[in-house]
């Protein structure tokens, strides 16, 4: 698969839209670590490794898939060598803690590299993503001895990480976990149980796999309040830091999946395996969700990456494939490239307008993660509030739009889009999982509406609307009407939230409305991103064609995409009884 990282777009977002240099200089932990020249160099190197090393593995990896032979999980040909090069170049530890061997780069830069890797290969990206997430959790909640032992190896890519939550009877409802942990006299624990759907749970890319496992102590309280988090390596670690004997962690099977076939999705068994507490007893979900917030943004970016890769394939095909005569845009030959046809242009504009807005939101969310982690005072507090609200939105809306974008790109190809050799059907299959794992999109919607918007009676959303209002002052005259339209949408979101919060059937109303509310909010936030981009483009030093193209895409979004929010708000207004009335056994 051919892939070209959109470096100009990425640098525009950092430099012009979000003023990254000013943000980094305002944070002491980043002021000496990163500047725009360094960021540009990192992105350029990231483009090289994703375009030249990772993307060429994508299709063959999908065809071959992972194999489970005699208890061993084997990745496709070329994966081990590519991962070693990837790790040795420092990419796994890009945003890791410098004290333990990470590069310490800000997340608002890291999200752009994440997008490149997902665009190049979803399956390959997941190995590094889970490792970075595990390291993040250990850095935030682990004892110093755990940090010293595991973080350098994870950041270097010598070892990898996995997140072990799901069990056959316990998916979204973690209160039903059965994996047990028993305390030992030396302060360690012994874990017994089985986990399923464990991404990167076992493979041949690294010498050790470090599992972060949710389990319950024998005397733990019932429900989710009794869950603790443990670090359980596949192999024990010797006092000198080398890999030791087996630790009672084994792979029972690998799943045969619709997509991401080169990613090892495993059944992992723990048989009296030695583990170490991460965080506090019975507070495992608090620790795990440190990792989950970053992972949910990462999986959202999987949707963005697939949308970008699909767009590139579809545009190239539309420029070359000749069928029919265009109306008013024909080129004079026997047949015109299909890019001249209105419906094809519509599909390409659909993909581009949501992908570029999503990329902007990913950088903004990454910036808020940086400020929530490294900022101080009111800046840190406000950033943490925005992270809490934007994370479920980004995960769900990015991936919903990612699937829509890959399907639209497949449609551009016509019959060829259904054939494996063209590559776009793999993107449809690969991105589908992103709406499901790391918390289904329906659960993200419930989190956004029920906890993040109604949980504080709309204060966070009101503050966001005030910020949008302020930031969009001084827009050029052609954009004032769109600004008015956008602010009216934010007001409507606040009104609907109040209406739902005061409903006599509050729980049913929230459950019935949550997905539509998330989509309406997604369109509003994307509109904000588009007006930020056109404002920055017109005030900056970008090439005239770049500025003009941004304006055209923004117009398309406001005239053909944003009105869909009105539909979602209208649906929310309907009585939830139409959903809840049917008896269960009539389904």
Known catalytic residues are: 438
Q: Which residue has the tokens 């017109």?
A: 538
Residue 230: partners with Cβ closer than 8 Å, 6 or more residues away = 181, 189, 191, 212, 213, 214, 215, 275, 276, 277, 278, 284
The Cα diameter of the chain in Å comes to 83
514 within 8 A of 449, measured Cβ to Cβ: yes
DSSP 280: S
> For residue 221, what are its two tokens?
């309280």
> For residue 509, what are its two tokens?
């109303």
Q: Is the dihedral of CA 340, 342, 345, 349 positive or negative?
A: positive
Q: Tell me the Cα Rg of the chain.
A: 24
DSSP letters, 421-474, are: GGSHHHHHHHHHGGGTSSS-HHHHHHIIIIIIITTTTTHHHHHHHHHHHHHTTT
Burial of 365 (0-12, 13-18, 19+ CB in 10 A): buried
In angstroms, rounded to a whole number, what is the distance separating the alpha carbons of residues 279 and 291? Answer: 13
263 within 8 A of 58, measured Cβ to Cβ: no
- Selection from 308, 316, 299 nearest residue 129 by Cα: 299
What is the Cβ-side half-sphere exposure of residue 69, based on CA atoms within 13 angstroms?
Answer: 7
Q: Looking at the DSSP assignment, which residues form a beta bridge with residue 194?
A: 269
> For residue 155, what are its two tokens?
């950041």
DSSP letters, 374-435, are: H--HHHHHHHHHHHHHHHHHHHHHHHHHHHHHHHHHHHHTGGGGGSGGGSHHHHHHHHHGGG
The phi, psi pair for 272, rounded to 5°, reads 55, 45
DSSP letters, 101-155, are: T-----HHHHHHHHHHHHHH-HHHHHHHHHHHHHHHHHHHHS-HHHHHHHHHHHH
- Selection from 219, 224, 236, 213 nearest residue 162 by Cα: 213
Burial of 244 (0-12, 13-18, 19+ CB in 10 A): middle
Q: Which residue has the tokens 């979602």?
A: 568
Report the SS3 class of residue 199. Answer: strand
């Amino acid at each position: 698969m051919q892939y070209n990282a959109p470096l100009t777009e990425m640098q525009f977002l950092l430099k012009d839209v979000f003023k990254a240099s000013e943000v980094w200089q305002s944070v002491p932990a980043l002021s000496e670590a990163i500047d725009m020249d360094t960021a540009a160099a990192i992105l350029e190197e990231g483009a090289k490794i994703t375009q030249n090393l990772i993307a060429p593995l994508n299709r063959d990896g999908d065809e071959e898939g992972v194999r489970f032979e005699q208890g061993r999980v084997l990745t496709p040909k070329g994966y081990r060598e590519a991962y070693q090069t990837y790790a040795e170049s420092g990419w796994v530890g890009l945003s890791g803690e410098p004290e333990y061997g990470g590069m310490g780069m800000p997340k608002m830069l890291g999200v752009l590299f994440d997008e490149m890797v997902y665009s190049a290969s979803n399956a390959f990206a997941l190995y590094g993503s889970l490792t970075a997430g595990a390291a993040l959790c250990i850095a935030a909640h682990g004892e110093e001895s755990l940090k010293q032992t595991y973080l350098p190896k994870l950041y270097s890519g010598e070892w990898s990480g996995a997140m072990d939550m799901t069990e056959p009877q316990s998916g979204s409802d973690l209160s039903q976990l059965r994996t047990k942990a028993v305390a030992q006299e030396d302060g360690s624990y012994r874990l017994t149980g089985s986990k399923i759907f464990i991404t990167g749970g076992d493979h041949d890319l690294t010498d050790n796999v470090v599992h972060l496992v949710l389990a319950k102590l024998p005397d733990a309280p019932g429900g989710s309040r009794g869950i603790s988090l443990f670090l359980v390596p596949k192999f024990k670690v010797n006092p000198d830091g080398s890999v030791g004997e087996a630790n009672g962690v084994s792979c029972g099977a690998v799943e045969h999946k619709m997509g991401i076939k080169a990613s090892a999705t495993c059944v992992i068994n723990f048989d009296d395996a030695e583990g170490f507490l991460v965080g506090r007893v019975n507070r495992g979900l608090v620790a795990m969700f440190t990792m989950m917030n970053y992972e949910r943004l990462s999986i959202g970016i999987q949707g963005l990456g697939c949308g970008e890769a699909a767009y590139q394939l579809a545009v190239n095909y539309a420029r070359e494939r000749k069928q029919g005569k265009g109306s008013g845009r024909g080129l004079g030959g026997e047949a015109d490239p299909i890019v001249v046809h209105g419906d094809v242009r519509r599909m390409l504009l659909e993909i581009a307008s949501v992908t570029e807005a999503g990329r902007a939101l990913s950088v903004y969310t990454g910036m808020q993660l940086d400020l929530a982690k490294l900022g101080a005072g009111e800046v840190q507090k406000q950033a943490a509030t925005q992270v809490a609200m934007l994370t479920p939105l980004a995960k769900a809306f990015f991936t919903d739009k990612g699937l829509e974008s890959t399907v639209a790109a497949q449609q551009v190809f016509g019959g060829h889009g259904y054939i494996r050799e063209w590559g776009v059907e793999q993107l449809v299959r690969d991105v589908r999982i992103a709406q499901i794992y790391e918390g289904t999109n329906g659960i993200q919607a419930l989190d956004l509406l029920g906890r993040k918007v109604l949980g504080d009676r709309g204060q966070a959303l009101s503050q966001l609307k005030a910020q949008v209002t302020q930031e969009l002052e001084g827009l050029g005259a052609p954009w004032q009407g769109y600004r008015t339209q956008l602010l009216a949408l934010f007001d409507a979101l606040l009104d609907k939230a109040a209406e739902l919060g005061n409903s006599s059937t509050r729980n049913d109303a929230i459950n019935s409305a949550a997905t539509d509310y998330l989509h309406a909010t997604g369109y509003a936030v994307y509109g904000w991103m588009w007006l930020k981009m056109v404002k920055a483009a017109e005030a900056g030093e970008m090439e005239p064609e770049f500025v003009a193209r941004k304006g055209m895409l923004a117009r398309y979004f406001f005239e053909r995409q944003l009105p869909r929010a009105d539909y979602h708000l209208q649906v929310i207004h309907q009585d939830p009884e139409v959903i809840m009335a049917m008896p269960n056994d009539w389904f």
